[in-house]
Amino acid sequence: MKPSDVIQAVCDELEIDRAEVEGRTRQQYAVDARHIAWWLLAQLFGMPAIEIQRRFGLSSGTVIHGLRRVEDGEDRALNFKLRQVEERLKA
């Protein structure tokens, strides 16, 4: 599995265009998908925030916020989406 496979799994499971995940749109569905992708990249590949920042062309603060948002687990809808993507990756 490669980082691009993880990003694609997020896109496929959440039915979102890859350009929206890799882009800068602030639509909540795209932000959720982006944060999930970042968190999975960090967890599965040990990818540091600075590398995720470079890959997506965003500020490190933005990436760190997204990682923390997933990590804190307070957003139930986001957690549900994350679990769906994780199941897809296991299959």
End-to-end CA distance of the chain: 12
Q: How many CB atoms lie within 10 A of CB 19?
A: 10
Torsion-angle region of 18 (φ positive above 0: left; ψ -120 to 50: alpha; else: beta): alpha
Q: What is the pLDDT of residues 20-76, one digit of tens each?
A: 999 999 999 999 999 999 999 999 999 999 999 999 999 989 999 999 999 999 999
Statement: the pTM of the whole predicted model exceeds 0.75: yes
Q: What is the pLDDT of residue 91?
A: 81
